[in-house]
Structure 1
Amino acid sequence: MNIAVLGTGAVGQALAGRLSGLGHTVAVGTRDPEATLARTELDGMGNPPFAAWLGDHAAVRLTTFAEAAAEAELVVLSGSGSAALDMLTAAGAQHLAGKPVLDISNPLDFSAGFPPSLFVKDTDSLAERIQAAFPEARIVKSLNTLTAQLMVEPDLLGGPTTVFVSGDDADAKATVTDLLTSFGHQDVIDLGGIETARGTEMFLPLWLRTMGALGTGLFNIKVVR
């Protein structure tokens, strides 16, 4: 499958690397490819510059948001929540129309420091705002309750845990679920329409506090029933 991963951070790198390893044709989208490749400093999380990662993933191509989305059969939004709408606007509504868009972003507001608050919650969600802004795209919220490494390597926890999908389009959710299964996720719960993304986005304050208590992001929910 031709897949566009929008975003060059840790989440984008994890998804792009795993998807490429599974045999997909992967293009990573960024606003300015030349500027992205020119960076030599560590990112805000202490990760090496993207050019170093790209050098180890020769099959992955770096291009603009619009070019990546135009060629894709599926688009992965892996940027920060505050940049999500701008990234998709740069990708172009015409390049998203009719396509599944896997939204991994979270509405985190760091304006008052850490831990962040949510800039949308309760009666709305970032996923709903994205769907409203791009009504012809088929938005599916998933993987936003996991750290990047566990998104693509769930077996690191030594047993099956639970991930969720939210979206209005059944076929798009099926496509995303197949992708999750290929990563190794065994328990995928379909929560329903895109409005159910409020629940997984609002899990983030608890996730962040749990990470602080454990000193690691390598944990997940397991729904026992």
Structure 2
Amino acid sequence: MVAVTVIGPGSIGSAVVAVAVRGGADVQVLGRTEAKARAAAEPLGASFGAVGDTLTGDIVVLAVPFDAVEEILGQYHAAFRGRVLVDVSNPVDFATFDGLIVPAYSSAAQAMQSTVPEARVLKAFNTNFAATLHSGVIADQPTAVLVAGDDADAKEALLGVVRTAGLRGVDAGSLKRARELEAIGFLQLTLGMREEISWTGGLGLVA
């Protein structure tokens, strides 16, 4: 059985927990407080704890805002060695909401890989709204989860969980493609903020 740890029990983190449980994974949820993690974990039969507890997942999903990533990477730096580390952040400049705060030639996920080179970093879930991860559909199409990364085995491990959960898992290419995924995520957020699309919808992928 695949073991997944989700750090961050907010809306997107809780949605990833639901996907991982449906995908047959043994799931651990860690939050700033144990109470927050419990609220996301208990209804789905997942274990829970507080940030700082020992990681149980071979796949660790960092479902925290971009500005909280550095602290988590520092806290668990040694523990991430050899693990699959999934970045779901969208590094939006929230002061202007008019761009990303990472260099145009890079991405949040690539910066993460540089910080923890021993981890196998993937970019995923940042182009999904939480509601469509829970429902599993956008309109009449399965929700598509785009996964970018340089480690083929790491991608297949995550894609296996996603597909078992009934979603459409798509290999989006190397970790360099995280830049494009973050741009798509940003565009989708701006459309949602302008009420051009619903938070229960989003951008879909038609085969």
Shorter-chain TM-score tier: 0.7 to 0.9
C-alpha displacement at 1:82, in angstroms? 1.5
Deviations 1:27-69 (A, max 9, x none): 1112443xxx2xxxxxxxxxxx665545534x22221334252
Report the Cα distance in structure 1 between the residues aligned to 2:84 and 2:23, rounded to whole angstroms: 19
Deviations 1:88-112 (A, max 9, x none): 322x122111111122111122124
Equivalent position of 1:203 in the other structure: 184
Q: CA RMSD in A?
A: 2.3
Does 2:169 align with 1:222? no
> Which AA in structure 1 matches 2:49?
T
Equivalent position of 1:95 in the other structure: 79
Contact persistence 1:5–1:27 (CA under 8 A): yes
Q: Select the residue among 106, 128, 135 that pairs with 2:90.
A: 106
C-alpha displacement at 1:4, in angstroms? 0.7
Deviates more, 1:120-129 or 1:207-216: 207-216
Does 2:135 align with 1:153? yes
Equivalent position of 1:26 in the other structure: 27
TM-score of the aligned structures, taking structure 1 as reference length: 0.79
Q: Higher Cα Rg: structure 1 or 2?
A: 1
C-alpha displacement at 1:174, in angstroms? 0.9
Equivalent position of 1:65 in the other structure: 51
Equivalent position of 1:81 in the other structure: 66
C-alpha displacement at 1:18, in angstroms? 3.4
Report the Cα distance in structure 1 between the residues aligned to 2:124 and 2:190, rounded to whole angstroms: 20
> Which AA in structure 2 matches 1:27?
Q
Report the Cα distance in structure 1 between the residues aligned to 2:30 and 2:40, rounded to whole angstroms: 14
Contact persistence 1:3–1:24 (CA under 8 A): yes
Deviates more, 1:103-112 or 1:206-215: 206-215
- Mark the CA change 1:101 to 1:152 in structure 2 (over 3 Å): closer, same or farther: farther
Tell me the secondary structure at the aligned position of residue 106 of structure 1: coil
Deviates more, 1:176-185 or 1:74-83: 176-185
- Structure 2: stretches of 5+ with no match in the other structure: none
What percentage of residue pairs aligned between the two structures are identical?
27
Q: Select the residue among 122, 146, 158 that pairs with 1:176.
A: 158
Contact persistence 1:128–1:195 (CA under 8 A): yes
Q: Return the structure number with greater relative CO, CA threshold 8 A, min gap 6.
A: 2
Deviates more, 1:136-145 or 1:209-218: 209-218
Report the Cα distance in structure 2 between the residues aligned to 1:52 and 1:65, rounded to whole angstroms: 15
**Alignment length, in residue pairs?**
204
Report the Cα distance in structure 2 between the residues aligned to 1:97 and 1:82, rounded to whole angstroms: 22
- Structure 1: stretches of 5+ with no match in the other structure: 38-48
Report the Cα distance in structure 2 between the residues aligned to 1:10 and 1:110, rounded to whole angstroms: 18
- Mark the CA change 1:111 to 1:180 in structure 2 (over 3 Å): closer, same or farther: same
TM-score of the aligned structures, taking structure 2 as reference length: 0.85
- Mark the CA change 1:216 to 1:50 in structure 2 (over 3 Å): closer, same or farther: farther
Equivalent position of 1:165 in the other structure: 147
